[in-house]
Amino acid sequence: MSATEKTVVEIIEDVCSQVRVGDADYDRALKDLGVDSLDVAGIFLAIQEKLGIRVPDNEIDALGSVRLIAAYLDKRR
Amino acid sequence: MIRLHSIASHVPAGSISNYDRREEFALTDEFITEKLGVASVSRMRPEEDTSALCLQAFNALQDRASVKPTDIDCLIVCTQNPDGHGIPHTSAVVHGQIGAPERCASFDVALGCSGYVYALSIAKSLMEANGLQQGLLFTADPYSKILDPTDKNTVLLFGDAATVTLLRADGAWTPRRFMFATRGADGTALNNRSGRLAMNGRAVFNFSATEVPAQVRALLGAEGLHPEDVDLFLFHQGSRYILDALAKRLGLAAAKVPCNLADQGNTVSSSIPLLFERYIDNPGIHRVLMSGFGVGLSWASCLVERQG
């Protein structure tokens, strides 16, 4: 688990109190983990506030798992 | 000093259940209950218009408070969906329907979800500056006129309603301080595109979740108050999700952030007075902070306190 992946998991679990992300879930679709469209807005706002990276609307749909989000954030840093 | 005396409302009996749309919009019960917070959205009848909702709210007010139409000095309607095409202004239509006197100042305020707080300040200032004794502040913004029935982002959220607030010197609730803000550059996040409401949910959420807590903290700070000094935080009822986010970000107990979305949905400028109507006669509630936010982007907050 990379540091960025760990941070993404912490953000997801903080924003979505009902969601728990296990070690085997990093490639699973967020919606399969119980993350809905409103949660997605909350997650990316938290990312923006915590990491200072604003993800454009048209790029969010492609970031559907912990791994994809973390890789995207690492590229933007 | 002009104060809030009474609030009455009218929520049309017509409604559409979001549970009946589970298949159409791929909704889960949990999403409807925990995220939207809206079980059904209220809808006025096709033959009704904005002024008709106001008139029903006024009828309800007359059952609650001693108010003669001929004594009204000021009549304001907060709406962005006026009767017809807005000419004449809806407040003039309501003025004629209730039989208010010719000396009565009547005008519309074209604001959305921040409108109640703004219009409260406008009404109070106008009345105090001109010695007006009795005012009616209506909110009525039936978004059903402009909803796209296929747009999941909006059609599951917005409901029709009207409220009226009676303002006069012998009211119990005194507005203490107002704060206003506008970010017109981001106005396309929530707008009317060729007659249909369009909303960028993410942009509206980001704006609400960041700017509203900041304004609330600024308002409390300006008054030397802390969140525990306030009995209730009456936020615009955007969605259950945004209410939960605001409570979390401000560290407020859920009991201090009431929600009444379930039976009618987000009623735009009516949402705050519709909620305050529940508490205005509750002697255990002394200090309330109201905050409206949305179309504009526009946001406004105020503190109101019970006298005595």
Picking from B270, B292, B306, B260, the residue whose alpha carbon sits closest to that of residue B117 is: B292
Picking from B168, B161, B174, the residue whose alpha carbon sits closest to that of residue B60 is: B161
At B182-224, the pLDDT tens digits run 999 999 999 999 899 999 989 999 999 999 999 999 999 999 9
A40: chain B residues, CB-CB within 8 Å: 202
Cβ density class A13-41: b for 16+ within 10 Å, e for less: eebbeebebeeebbeeebeebebbebbbb
Is it true that the peptide bond before B297 is cis, omega within 30 degrees of 0? yes
pLDDT for residue A7:
94
Residue among B266, B282, B286, B302 flagged as catalytic: B266
Q: Contact at 8 Å (CB) between B208 and B181?
A: no
> Mutating which of B152, B202, B266 best tests the A interface, going by the most A Cβ atoms within 10 A?
B202
Pick the CATH number of B174-306 from 1.10.420.10, 3.40.47.10, 3.40.50.720, 3.60.20.10: 3.40.47.10
As a whole number, mean pLDDT of residues B111-124 equals: 98
At A12-45, the pLDDT tens digits run 999 998 899 988 889 999 999 989 889 999 999 9
Does residue B188 belong to the interface with chain A, where contact is any CB pair within 8 Å?
A: no
Looking at the complex, report in whole angstroms how far the Cα of residue B262 sits from the nearest Cα belonging to chain A. 18
Return the residue of A nearest to B26 by Cα. Answer: A36
For residue A71, the tally of other CB atoms under 10 A from its CB is 16
Stated pTM of the model: 0.94
Residue ranges of alpha helices (H) inside B136-232 are: 152-155, 201-222
**Taking the CA atoms of chain B, what radius of gyration do you get in angstroms?**
18
Domain spans in chain B, listed from the N-terminal domain onward: 3-171, 174-306
Whether residue B206 and residue A45 make contact (CB cut-off 8 A), yes or no, is yes
Picking from B4, B14, B28, B137, the residue whose alpha carbon sits closest to that of residue B73 is: B137
Q: Give the architecture-level CATH label for domain B3-171.
A: 3-Layer(aba) Sandwich (3.40)
Share of chain A above pLDDT 90, in %: 71
Does residue B209 belong to the interface with chain A, where contact is any CB pair within 8 Å?
A: yes
A57: chain B residues, CB-CB within 8 Å: 200, 202-203
CATH 1.10.1200.10 fits A3-76, yes or no: yes
At B129-160, the pLDDT tens digits run 999 999 999 999 999 999 999 999 999 999 99
For residue B211, the tally of other CB atoms under 10 A from its CB is 16
- Spatial separation of the C-alpha atoms in residues A14 and A29, rounded to whole Å: 18
**Taking the CA atoms of chain A, what radius of gyration do you get in angstroms?**
11
Residue A7 is encoded by which pair of tokens?
A: 């941070």
- Spatial separation of the C-alpha atoms in residues A3 and A52, rounded to whole Å: 16
Picking from A71, A54, A57, the residue whose alpha carbon sits closest to that of residue A8 is: A71
Residue among B113, B130, B153, B282 flagged as catalytic: B113
Whether residue B35 and residue A45 make contact (CB cut-off 8 A), yes or no, is no
Domain spans in chain A, listed from the N-terminal domain onward: 3-76
Query: Got the DSSP string for B58-106?
Result: HHHHHHHS---GGG--EEEEE-SS-STTSSS-HHHHHHHHHT--TT-EE
> Mutating which of B35, B154, B186, B206 best tests the A interface, going by the most A Cβ atoms within 10 A?
B206
